[in-house]
Copies of this chain bind each other. A is one copy, B any other.
Amino acid sequence: MDEFALIRRFFTGLGPKVPEILLGPGDDCALLQMQAGEQLAISVDTSVEGRHFPAQADPWAIGWRCLGVALSDLAAMGARPLGFTLAITLPDADENWLTEFSRGLGALADQLACPLIGGDTTRGPLTLSVQVQGAVDRQHVWRRSGAQPGQIIAVLGSLGSAAAGLRSFHEQPERLHDRASWDSLEKAYMLPQPLIQEALGLSRGVSISSAIDISDGLLADLQHLLASSAVAAELDLEQLPLDPLLLKRLGKTLALDAALHGGDDYALLLTLDEADFPLARNLCPQLTRIGRLVKGAGIRTPEGDLLEPEGYNHFSGQQEGS
């Protein structure tokens, strides 16, 4: 089938109609009309086969996942989705693969009301670049830079599960095909749930001073937020939200290690005034307080032990200057 037939068959009509989208795929550009008082938030995430997801993974899950990791960035700004573009590079046009891939993609597009509005289809090694467009009320934009000493640090979502799920797939690659049997850790890795609704609910009710999504590991992403805000953090490791299955599977020490350093969680890290926390918990019962912001730099335990990130980095194997 040719490129245009492929687009018509697998990438048309994914997701619902959204009033801001005036023109979707099929012209030189898509057209969006923002509502008054709203800003446009955009973010792009690339998923490369064998690097961001295993080559043999269930294509339904690959479709869900490549959109999910991008939507997580909208959640981290407090933005609601308007639509996404997909730049897909495919080694070939495998019908079964594409059918399942587009179903998984469409399932999340439907769930979070984020239609496919454009893209590009090319041939080459499997690479998926998803750019999400979202709208955010200009009064309620969450940036990384607003955290203040004295505020508390909270997490929405579980930590460390995705790292344990990935390990499970490494140990039992045959499970990659068996989506129906995935446990909560395996789902955390392959089917991340972007916390869009939770973020929008919080955003409307509580003042969040800064936010980031946790894709590189809690310590690495907290460090980004702290650097943007020029503050330090004290983390209470006993409070980290861990899936009971993670504790059972890895034991406490390794579970904690996965929570601090493991990537791909797509949980949200938020900072807010301590006085607002009860209301925030009412709006979002899964919200967990994990520490507080202090003056200075770095991340420490209440006992003063320094915690340092070891997050995944794509080019870290190379020497500076190579």
Contacts and interface: CB of A to CB of B under 8 A. Distances in A.
Interface in A6-44: 6, 22-23, 26-34, 36, 39-44
A283 interface: no
B28 A73 contact: yes
Contacts of A315: 1-3, 6, 90, 92-93, 121, 123
Interface stretch (A46-54, A175-183, A295-303): A46-54
Residue among A27, A40, A79, A212 with max Cβ neighbours from chain B (10 Å) = A27
A87 interface: yes
A153 B281 CA distance: 62
B28 A313 contact: no
A127 interface: yes
Interface string A117-141: 1111111110101010110101001
B320 A1 contact: yes
B31 A41 contact: yes
A322 interface: yes
A48 B123 contact: yes
A9 to B, nearest CB: 10
Given A22-B39, A31-B141, A77-B29, A2 B45 contact: no
Interface string A58-91: 0000000000000001101101000001010110
B28 A32 contact: no
A172 interface: no
A31 B136 CA distance: 9
Given A1-B322, A121-B314, A89 B127 contact: yes
Nearest to A40: B32
Residue among A28, A33, A85 with max Cβ neighbours from chain B (10 Å) = A28
A34 B45 contact: no
A316 interface: yes
Given A125-B127, A129-B120, A315-B1, A322 B93 contact: yes
A318 interface: yes
Interface string A93-118: 10100000000000000000000011
A68 B1 CA distance: 28
A144 B27 CA distance: 6
A85 B42 contact: yes
Contact of A42 (B30, B145, B319): B30
Given A40-B34, A44-B118, A95-B321, A29 B87 contact: no
Residue among A6, A85, A129, A211 with max Cβ neighbours from chain B (10 Å) = A129
A249 to B, nearest CB: 29
A322 B315 CA distance: 37
A239 to B, nearest CB: 24
Interface of A: 1-6, 22-23, 26-34, 36, 39-46, 48-52, 73-74, 76-77, 79, 85, 87, 89-90, 92-93, 95, 117-125, 127, 129, 131, 133-134, 136, 138, 141, 143-145, 211-213, 228, 313-316, 318-322
